Structure 1
Amino acid sequence: MLRPYALTPLSLAISAILASHSVYAETPEPEIERIQVTADFRPQSLFTVPASVTVIDSQQIKDESSRHFEDILGAIPNLNWAGGSSRPKYFQIRGVGEQEEYQGAPNSSVGFVIDDIDLSGLGLTSSLFDIEQIEVLRGPQGTRFGANALAGMIYMQSAAPTETAEFGTEVSVGEDSLTQYAGYASGPVNEQGTLRYRVSLQQHNQDGFRDNDFLGTDDTNERDEMTLRSKWHWDASDDLQVQLALLYANFDNGYDAWTLDNNGFDTLTDQPGEDSQETTGGSLKLNWRINSYVDLVSITSAAHTNHTHAYDGDWANPGYWQALSCTDYYDENGNGDFADQIPCQYDYLWDKDAERDTLTQEVRFLSTENSRIFNKSTDWLIGLYIQDLDESNDLESFYNGWPDQFLSSNYEATNLAGFAQLDSELTETTSLSVGVRVEQRDAEYSDDAGDSFDPEETMWGGHISLHYSVSSYWSSYLKLARGYKAGGFNMGLPSDFNQYREFDNETLDNLEIGLNGYLPDYQIALNAAVFYMKRDDQQVEASIQDPDNPQRFFLYTANATSSDSYGLELDANWQATSNLVVYGTLGLLDTEFDDYTVDQIDGSQLDLTGRSLAHAPNYQFSFGTTWRGDSGFFVNLNVRGSDGFYYSDSHDQKADSYELLNASIGYEEANWALYAWGKNLTDEEYGVRGFYFGNEPNLDWAPKLYERYGDPQQFGVTFRYNYF
């Protein structure tokens, strides 16, 4: 998304690029700010990146009063999320991505990186205070990121240390008992300014929009979220720069979001759940010019995470169930063919604690001006990457007061990859990029129920892209990319599901055409891309309720034959006047299984051939406008909308389409600002996750759609003060 203030950043970036290419410009453009995409191997202007990318900067985050990635992701075309957690952590790009992870062998399709720390599958702790830029790269990133980015990559950067001393504070209060306190400090450490620091802290609390009528409290779904970040930049010499980023996040959130009658916000649970994550991590990046021929980039990262997900599985309490009648099919001797009505008994608690350690190391060797090849027309790079991920899980559940399932497991996966890329200037207007990545993955899993797996596999991906500068103000690209995702295994399945115990890796081929441009007479900038994707051996999540123990589910991943997807992504920005900017995004998506059927609890099969993928709405859009008056008054209005989508690939239940209206109004001075804001102004009720299964014994466990809804209407005030 483009920054909605003053001059449009994309138009500024385009103008800056054009100014540097005098072959086109009749008159030089002024030297102005450039937007760079930093997630790739080399920082690159948004205007010239041969990929469908959305960039959201800190100004848009502030203008829209966004405090968590959940608040802003609706502005990113063809990005969706599955709301089975207290905050978004399972994402889908173009309909590709996980919807849950209950068992403990993480294998992400959407990469999630904050300050070069890999948190894929752990996106819960993505608070936005002091975040400088969010980059979302859509489509397979087979050369750059490999197996963790089959669908794409979400890359977040916190603000960099400044050369002068700066301090700032921010306070927000609002409905739902919202309070947020945040602050930052930044500046040089030594007189020369070669060592600089930045530290930021955010503490966010609110009740979570749920009233537990049984317990008589309103905070069983609370959000208690603390984020501490620190960055250090050291210019060790003219040839060596060192960047250190540290992160500590403690999200101690409740999880009480489901109801039997789908009333949305009044729960009846006696054992409210938990959805917490505590992460300590860091990254160390070295940019070193070894000599006049070779640059080296080294990125080391490590993260330790404890996370807990627990829920009250009966979504009610003993008194609620005992007031209902259930059928007892057994006589006093335990014989069947007997039916009598007795008070229901149903009490279920599920709890999983996990501990994950992730270590990554990447080393790149890059060409300089002196070492370009093929008549000095081609830059090159080669590199190595290694990731080691260890996770242990302890799962326990209780059914009607008795131990139900207990499972302890250990999982380790090691990925070793080599990659190379050539970037060639074919002519003054045309460039070619070719990249390849080969990745070896070794995994081991064991649990105390006797399951054991140790898959090994070699995968490869890459890209070929052609970039063409059409004119001073327009550029286009054509890209063919291949991504891949590792295969895996399913634990805890009954013997008649042996055919699903292991599944193969999948590949995704993506053909994409893009156009980036600027209409200077109208001050309109846009990015547009159309794409076609083909997934082979597609991994599909499925589940079946255990007919003998209906509180349990058999969860597994299987390979569908393939699927086809095509669509469009558009970011546009119009600087209507010096005070008014209008901006928007559009994502269109059509997905279709080629040939796939899913086993059902009654022994039948659900034929999904020709059906859309789960969490893949046909359209998503956002539209916003920001006005800044000369006297300091400020107004932002924005609306986000989505088509309905299938909740799962195991059933045919769908979410409804929705539109969310948000607004901020305030007054800004040079060093302080005061805003009043509102979220979901029309109080739209919209589904973010849905399950279709039997969870009511008084109805003989008949399947039914249960939906979890997104946040309702909320109003608040934010005060910001900066010291320079």
Structure 2
Amino acid sequence: MKPISKPLSLIGILLTTQAFAAEEEEAVKLPDVVVSADFRPSTAEKTAVSLTEIDKETIESRGAQHLEEVLGLAPNVNLSSGASRGQFFQIRGMGATSQFSAPLNPSVGLVIDGVDFSRTGGAATLFDIDSIEILRGPQGTKFGTNGLAGTINMRSKEPTKEFSLRAESGLAEYNTRNFGVAVGGTLVEDKLLGRASIYSHKSDGYMNNDFLNRDNTQNQDELTFRGKLRLLASDDFTVDLGYTHLNIDNGYDAFTFDNSRNSLSDHPGQDKQLTNAFALNTNWQVSDAVIVQSTATYLKSDIVYSYDADWGYVGQFDPALGPYIGFERFDRHRENYSLELRALSDKAGRIFNDTTDWTVGLFFLDQDEAFKQNSDFGIFGATLRNGDYNTQNTSIYSQLDTHLTDKLTLITGGRIEYFKARYSDSNALNIGQDEGLFGGKVGLNYQVNQDHFIYSTLSRGYKSGGVNNNAALPVNRLGFDSEYNVTAEVGVKSNWFDKRLKTALAAFYTDRRNAQVENSIANGVQFLEFTGNASSATHQGVEASLDWFLTDNLRMLGSLGLLDATFDKHSFNGVNYDGRQVAHAPKYTFNLGSEYYMNDAWTLRANVEGKDGFYFSDSNNSKSSAYAIVNASADYKHGHYKVRLWVRNLLDKDYATRGFFFGNNPANSYAAEKYVQFAEPRVAGITVSYDY
């Protein structure tokens, strides 16, 4: 057997699969995987970072429509819902878990085809996505303030000279139906390549609203269009233009008093966005010594996020306990643009006696968010507010890769960033911030031989301060300071048995200072959330993976993450949380799967993945339960056609992706209780595709 020509997924943490053709004369091997985790593309096993790459075959084998449905394959990675999708991400216990009125201050960057979507996780739809790279640990040198905990980098399929066509249609439970087409190839011989895709995903969702007698108040209605052009202007100069259009019109009706999937809300919410994003990239081989690259991006999003805040209906309980008219809506208009100019050395441009590759760059990002809040909590008051939050990030960065010997390389990189922010609203709240930030890394890489790579890094990540915009908060809660961490990491990546087995192992220790943590104050049905600075926290752990062809037909895949992320010093409302695990930081995450290639036509896959229980918040001790879920699929391929049967969460396990602990039930005198939002139940479907 031999692999198909396209590289498979990562060795770093989870390696997923592609179908193989049977040829007994040649033993199967796992090919190298090219990733873009650093300034220069490299193979995963020679990249000095703990990472997971999830390829398109894995995405398709699950019938996955959004990043939330594959993120469980990556160790020490978690997500939070609080919306129609799990769109708030945490890596090694760091990351935002929700957003209400205040501007989002992410710790995990989300980059889609070069555009920064870090504040808009609902945009991570998956059709025609070729790979997902999940980088763990500070990425300050390359990605700046959004890379404090790590970065998720999604790349759609690139244009090629050869004509290609993919058509896909699927049906699944809960009235789920999908259809998409992608086409690409040469537009002008030897000059212009192109690719375009369009995809529609619709589902009634997984909630029943008993009051309205509807089963689609948590529906999914997502349209994605992607377009790419590549101009081969000359042998030395290329231009890439990318465009993404998203029209998402999802419902949001997730929370109930009895923690069930049966809602009683009379005003179900919405989770909508209309997004247009552009990215223009150039690559110029100036000479044998220097390469110059530039990137310009623009993103515009109109977003609606609303929910029935009381989760009930008027007259549901005794009016003496308070009328049920709670509702809250946030309209956001986001407009971002960025400019980046970078120069890299080629082989003839090495410095310091031809030992050192260099990179230097300039970066500017402007983000503006205008918002409107319309809240009505009945006897507890109403809020109508308009505001604007504008931030600007200006950075300079550089990196040196010094080859001390043929096998030993010293990496030194740094980034200096100036952050400027202005917030104002119709409640006469005005907050300004200006600060200098810096991060970087020092590392040693040792290529023992062609099969074994050892690395060590000491890196500093950072994240700018931010704003709490609720005027009901004390004055000292209206802003919070910047956060930084220092992380030491060592890792080894290896090939065994003539590349039939690939393994990766990383251990890390993070000293987190001035940690930004989400807190909350409950006041009846009013839920006041804010971000503050804890004193410090320590995050340490291990990440391991394997990808192994036990035979030419049987492949085993696995990953394990162990995480101890605890507060060194943190208290809230007089409660001491010293030594407690931080929120959304399960102590273990795991994945174990297998793939069986029966013959040229049939491929079977199954995996089990799960995680330990975790705290929902840094301001109370409410926790989720530990869980494990099973996913499976069976493919039949005939010529250009493929039929795939798939099921996610085969055993129909209930598990939570978001939780609160506060009083929201007047029938219980607003006593504080735990309320959770469930992930999807068992969902099975069929997908038929045609590839040419």
2:73 is aligned with what amino acid? A
Q: 1:206-605 residue pairs with structure 2 within 5 A? A: 206-263=203-260, 265-322=261-318, 342=320, 344-400=322-378, 404-494=382-472, 497-520=474-497, 523-546=500-523, 550-599=524-573, 605=574
Q: Distance in 1 between matches of 2:546 and 2:307?
A: 42
1:651 equivalent in alignment to 2:647? no
CA contact (8 A) 2:80 2:657 kept: yes
Q: Distance in 2 between matches of 1:147 and 1:163?
A: 37
Q: Distance in 1 between matches of 2:199 and 2:529?
A: 37
Listed as ranges, the gaps of 5+ residues in structure 2 are 13-26
* Deviation larger for 499-508 or 153-162: 499-508
1:293-331 Cα distance to aligned partner (Å, 9 max, x none): 321010111100011110001101113224xxxxxxxxx
CA contact (8 A) 2:7 2:34 kept: no
Distance 1:270 1:12, change over 3 A: closer
What SS is found at the alignment partner of 1:370?
A: helix
Query: What is the total number of aligned residue pairs between the two structures?
Result: 677
How far is the alpha carbon of 1:451 from its aligned partner?
Answer: 0.9
CA contact (8 A) 2:302 2:334 kept: yes
1:66 equivalent in alignment to 2:64? yes
Q: 1:620-631 residue pairs with structure 2 within 5 A? A: 620-631=589-600
CA contact (8 A) 1:10 1:525 kept: no
Distance 1:494 1:190, change over 3 A: closer
* Deviation larger for 471-480 or 249-258: 471-480
Aligned residue number for residue 331 of structure 1: none
2:540 is aligned with what amino acid? Y
How far is the alpha carbon of 1:647 from its aligned partner?
Answer: 0.4
1:184 is aligned with what amino acid? A
1:156-180 Cα distance to aligned partner (Å, 9 max, x none): 0000112111111111101100000
Q: 1:699 aligns with which of 658, 664, 668?
A: 668
1:291 is aligned with what amino acid? S
How far is the alpha carbon of 1:65 from its aligned partner?
Answer: 2.9
Q: 1:74-89 residue pairs with structure 2 within 5 A? A: 74-89=72-87
Aligned residue number for residue 577 of structure 2: 608
Q: Distance in 2 between matches of 1:540 and 1:106?
A: 12
2:225 is aligned with what amino acid? L
Q: Distance in 2 between matches of 1:206 and 1:12?
A: 31
Distance 1:283 1:519, change over 3 A: same
1:250 is aligned with what amino acid? N
Distance 1:31 1:677, change over 3 A: closer
2:101 is aligned with what amino acid? Q
CA contact (8 A) 1:5 1:626 kept: no
Aligned residue number for residue 189 of structure 2: 191
Could you tell me the TM-score, scaled by structure 1's length?
0.91
How far is the alpha carbon of 1:584 from its aligned partner?
Answer: 1.1
How far is the alpha carbon of 1:670 from its aligned partner?
Answer: 3.3
2:519 is aligned with what amino acid? A
Aligned residue number for residue 609 of structure 2: 640
Q: Distance in 2 between matches of 1:528 and 1:82?
A: 26
What SS is found at the alignment partner of 1:237?
A: coil
Aligned residue number for residue 15 of structure 2: none
CA contact (8 A) 2:8 2:33 kept: yes
Distance 1:655 1:343, change over 3 A: closer
2:534 is aligned with what amino acid? A
Distance 1:206 1:667, change over 3 A: same
How far is the alpha carbon of 1:12 from its aligned partner?
Answer: 10
How far is the alpha carbon of 1:9 from its aligned partner?
Answer: 5.3
2:483 is aligned with what amino acid? E
Aligned residue number for residue 18 of structure 2: none
How far is the alpha carbon of 1:233 from its aligned partner?
Answer: 1.1
1:135 equivalent in alignment to 2:133? yes
Aligned residue number for residue 708 of structure 1: 677
Aligned residue number for residue 34 of structure 2: 36
1:351-373 Cα distance to aligned partner (Å, 9 max, x none): 00000001011110111222211
* Deviation larger for 612-621 or 714-723: 714-723
Listed as ranges, the gaps of 5+ residues in structure 1 are 15-28, 323-340, 600-604
How far is the alpha carbon of 1:195 from its aligned partner?
Answer: 0.9
Aligned residue number for residue 687 of structure 1: 656
CA contact (8 A) 2:199 2:224 kept: yes
Distance 1:701 1:13, change over 3 A: closer
Distance 1:176 1:591, change over 3 A: same
CA contact (8 A) 2:11 2:502 kept: no
Aligned residue number for residue 162 of structure 2: 164
How far is the alpha carbon of 1:581 from its aligned partner?
Answer: 1.0
Q: Distance in 1 between matches of 2:28 and 2:617?
A: 51
1:249 is aligned with what amino acid? L
How far is the alpha carbon of 1:698 from its aligned partner?
Answer: 2.4
Higher Cα Rg, which structure: 1
Aligned residue number for residue 116 of structure 1: 114
